[in-house]
Structure 1
Amino acid sequence: MNKPFAKQEQAKAWQLPALENLEVLHATYRTHTFARHVHEEFCLGIIVGGVEAVRYRGTTHIAPTGSLVVFQPDEGHSNWAATAAGWSFQVIYPAIDLLQRAIGAEETTIAMPFFADPIIADRSLFCQISQFHAQLAHPQTTIQLEQESQLLAILQTLVTCHAVWHKPNQFTIGREHRAVKQIKDYLQVYYAQDPSLEDLSTVCGLSPFHLARVFRKATGLPPHAYLISLRIAHAKIHLCQNRSLAEIAIDLGFTDQSHFTHTFKAWVGIPPGQYRTQIKSG
């Protein structure tokens, strides 16, 4: 039986300075839908109540209570409640190099772990992650060394038991791979501007329609959505500073504060003002 839900949607986000500012999110949603988005880091979550639906790599997956959910960095996905009751989840966002280091892969040339299925059934690991989150919610009862050890044990088990090391090619290696990288590199510099497909075509040498197809096949997102993901990532950094939401919105290329707030909540699940308050309060 699923655990009872809160009467209203709720979410709490915070960072763990002792764990390389690892971001944590605990949330319950009924009607909120996460717009199709990507993360720079891995996303490792557990479903602690209800049922989540996930659109990922062209397929809709169902994650019931007790499931682990894992998304690769830079792979587009959207999430919503699979039933009217909603769903509750707890998630962390470990960086790529953190997973590599967790298994002793110190060299940057080591391949990135790849998870073929975003939904994983592993009761033992679920319980291990659940206990970790319970301690994160009450950090005063846990010493730093214990947190670090638990996190590394979780990541080691996850990678050892569920990862593969050779991701299938999504398209032939060559010019198109280079084009995707060129577009990403360009957008990472000019994320606050408003480039057109023609601008990106000039950067990579593909026709606008061809590059749009290639980019979406490689990342799961069209170029404009990837641009928004970069803006959201930078917004999180700015929100840790004492800058107004209106100023952040304009600096990052949003039309205004309302546009920024609406987009941020659709991607992160929390309005930017609430996110800033929670992150600062720990």
Structure 2
Amino acid sequence: MRQEVRTVRFDHDLQIEAYRFEGIMQKFPNHFHEYYVIGFIESGQRRLSCKNKEYVLGTGDIIFFNPLDNHACESINNETLDYRSLNISPEIMRKVTKEITGQEYLPSFASPVAYRSEKAQILYNLHQMIMDEISGFNKEETFYFLIKQLIEEYTEAIEDTEPRAIKLEIENVCQYIEVHYAEHIALDDLAKIANMNKYSLLRSFTRICGITPYRYLQTVRISEAKKRLEQGVKPLDVAIETGFVDQSHFSNFFVEFIGLTPGQYRDIFIDNDK
């Protein structure tokens, strides 16, 4: 079996992350990110679940995740995966979108998959420049033209039909989790905040957010942990500060969500500071 290789670069010119996974078999659970993910399959097949819909992915397919899009994926027929992606924060995406379109907004990708897209080659070229730590005109030009083409071809306005009153209750629950993520949080607490019984909360929360409250809590904790690791905080201290039971519990969740150990992720930013 091929040895797994996991490489991450942070590009200071573009202010985005680039991931490359080679030969991986890992199953990723249902989760979300606070940033955009634009990636593509170099080789292999995966079964993707995104916002309660199923997709089969293969070589040359581009993947789009908007911030907070819940998704999970697993191998098909035990095939290994070669995968590249760009992670773009909402702040950077908003800035770039305004420069491209003249309007200040966050684009929404209508579908999580573009099958056999010709844009995969452009994405590959940009990604490889970041992997090779190339700076300069060509990389930035490629980035802007890629985002322009992706916005024009793959984004559209999505109508929101969810009752506003229920959305507000769930937003209150999300805000509570985002503030108190490092504390012990019980389902009873969240139900009281939402003015619902526990089952109604679970049903409404999962329908609106596409993810359970517990998985939302764990995702927020991992997101906060990433920020601390990027600042060079030790994994043990990060585990304590973000509400995990212990470092082992934290490491297991981090690998499950991110595909890297906390130490590997922290080292990316330490190396970039040298």
Does structure 1 residue 253 correspond to structure 2 residue 271?
Answer: no
Cα contact 2:10–2:268 (8 A) shared by 1: no
Q: Tell me the residue number matched to 1:274.
A: 264
Shift of residue 172, structure 1, vs aligned partner? 2.7
Q: Tell me the residue number matched to 1:120.
A: 114
What amino acid sits opposite 1:200 in the alignment?
A: L
Cα contact 1:30–1:84 (8 A) shared by 2: no
* CA RMSD after TM alignment: 1.9
Cα contact 1:235–1:248 (8 A) shared by 2: yes
* Structure 1: gaps spanning 5 or more residues: 1-5
Cα contact 1:67–1:119 (8 A) shared by 2: yes
Q: Tell me the residue number matched to 1:156.
A: 148
Q: CA 1:228–1:235 in structure 2 vs 1: closer, same or farther (change >3 Å)?
A: same
Shift of residue 69, structure 1, vs aligned partner? 0.5
Q: Separation in 2 of the partners of 1:35 and 1:236?
A: 18
What secondary structure, in the 3-state scheme, does the structure 1 residue paired with 2:46 have? strand
Q: Aligned to 2:25, which of 31, 37, 44?
A: 31
Q: Aligned to 1:185, which of 172, 175, 178?
A: 175
Q: Aligned to 2:51, which of 36, 51, 57?
A: 57
TM-superposition CA deviations, 1:146-179 (whole Å, max 9, x none): 32222121111111011112x133x533211101
TM-superposition CA deviations, 1:78-112 (whole Å, max 9, x none): 1222232311110011123433443435665x4x3
Q: Tell me the residue number matched to 2:162.
A: 172
Q: Separation in 2 of the partners of 1:281 and 1:51?
A: 32
Q: Aligned to 1:215, which of 168, 180, 205?
A: 205
Shift of residue 38, structure 1, vs aligned partner? 0.3
Cα contact 2:9–2:130 (8 A) shared by 1: no
Shift of residue 202, structure 1, vs aligned partner? 2.2
Does structure 1 residue 198 correspond to structure 2 residue 192?
Answer: no
Q: Tell me the residue number matched to 1:230.
A: 220
- Count of aligned positions: 270
Shift of residue 44, structure 1, vs aligned partner? 0.5
Does structure 1 residue 79 correspond to structure 2 residue 73?
Answer: yes
Q: Separation in 2 of the partners of 1:266 and 1:95?
A: 21
* Structure 2: gaps spanning 5 or more residues: none
Q: Separation in 2 of the partners of 1:239 and 1:270?
A: 12
What amino acid sits opposite 1:16 in the alignment?
A: D
Structure-1-length-normalised TM-score: 0.89
What amino acid sits opposite 1:9 in the alignment?
A: E
TM-superposition CA deviations, 1:200-256 (whole Å, max 9, x none): 122222222212111111111111111111111111111123433222111111010
Name whichever of 26-35 and 214-223 sits farther off.
26-35
Q: Separation in 2 of the partners of 1:226 and 1:174?
A: 20
What amino acid sits opposite 1:253 in the alignment?
A: G
Percent sequence identity over aligned pairs: 22
Q: Separation in 2 of the partners of 1:164 and 1:41?
A: 18
What amino acid sits opposite 2:198 in the alignment?
A: P
Does structure 1 residue 14 correspond to structure 2 residue 9?
Answer: yes
Q: Separation in 1 of the partners of 2:163 and 2:219?
A: 25
Q: Separation in 2 of the partners of 1:181 and 1:147?
A: 38
What secondary structure, in the 3-state scheme, does the structure 1 residue paired with 2:54 have? strand
Q: Tell me the residue number matched to 1:90.
A: 84
